[in-house]
Structure 1
């Protein structure tokens, strides 16, 4: 049995911090957290020399990274490249995200994700953000491919869960019925509402039918008004609804995020997503998506990605930067910021084998320095840059 003892850092287990402690790993899983100096038997000793050891980050919405967009080539290799591009920033599990595309792209992404998930290289499932979205809230998506959800789509997505395991589908309230939502959720699909002008009453109806979350809260959806609370108001008020937030200083003003965090009724919670594009981990200043150039513009907390007309086009955010943003701009204690990057997305995605440092769970870890910059990540107990 391969055993490791990681010591010298404060350990956050997903609930609380452990000072002067050692994390024991055996065969890629968490064995225990014990007091530092306790005899742990035959194992490799690793001194982390300060900082914080925490559960690896989990990102439920990743369009690209490491120079690759999933839409460019929805293959297993693209998914591995995206996962590897985000690993230096603490992300150990992610859902490659396919945005609205031409016919056939969804089927190809499902087939590729089924293979990629089994490989154990950081791909935890698949997120399909389209094509069943509202053209009025298209953002950077191509409206010409958007359409209502049909019976054949429900059948395809329901069967895809058996192959992929974790499948998130973003749907507009205008393009789906409550009965369809119930069919999908009964099959195990995680349904989110997004890219929609649906009103609060319709949103509540779809939540009650089984929709579990909203995709990038505030962005590309009906906003919160005092007489028309919209999807934002419905999501904050419904206790069972989860919501991803893009904490980059461009997509949502920090004040609005602070208000949302204080307003959210639980047990559903808000958590970090990146909605990132291919430039994460790259030096280039632009890339092409569906024939359109998307530019990286420097400025603010992190750079901004936009089309020529200024429309936001995903983000240049990574999860470690989101955690730092949460601490610096959202008044979050470090523990809560870390939960929003690990435990909460794990709960939302029903990934019960990760997201916390508890006995028997996957040893997916991130080591952060005092400045909350990533020093090292581990995937199944294997440190980045090493082989199992």
Structure 2
């Protein structure tokens, strides 16, 4: 009897869930010029019109009305606070009923240099979860500079201090470079003292226009994670580490007989809405990327088609199909797939030049090295106690 491989729609549904996160780009512009930044248009002062925000709010309302869980709106940039408090308040206005009803939650990822008392009051009034981008103490943060190449560290620090003074909690994302990957304890201690409740570590990647810098190796990453694991075991009450928490959740589910819950988890399509209303799927880093073969990764425009319609046709997009092909290959070939769940789309594209490809350096340094570090630590502890 002849059997048929599942169609593209079935394959998409196998791998993807309804969106839990929507990334929103209120502006392309950034007041910093970080040396590793991947954004091609960060020096252009484009801003999202109110009509785009209103159309997105209507789309999100449709998604939540159909039974989707609370959706996180992540305001990203550029530097999202560069639009100013008044403009930002106008962009938030169409979502206010949804927020009050518990259908959405706002997040903002900021370099914190523009935070004022007014911003703190706005963030608190709209219950916005704040993520701050800072790479550690001044020497580790040296690549985060302004448009005149002046260090931004003192301004970032003042922003975090103002958040703390107003009682606004915040998390941190740190880019780990070749200059900081050998100093995890110094980085962790700094972040613990900074006052953030959690931190995530993005080991520097080849991505977007950041294509020429040397990035950390797998060996460096494994040592970084080993020492991070060791530090965290004694200091977890001081700082939660995003990657370790994910690993811990995975191991807990496996040990307690809940593997099915982990295996049934699917990818978030992460719709990213640009200042013009164009929607890109799979990875926010693909937004503003010119690629004729994929129509610049556009899945539609929110001004002309609602999100549920755009997502309903996602399986027809060539780049989504290529990504699904790569996911199938990851599952078949990679011994780390059980934890990793497949390479990130943007990393496949920018590192390998193909969304059908599998392993990337991001896989090796952010997933494989973490698992290997934990395994080697456990082996050494077993040898010591034997």
TM category (shorter chain) comes to: 0.3 to 0.5
TM-score, normalised on structure 2?
0.41
Question: Quick check: which one's strand share is greater?
Answer: 1
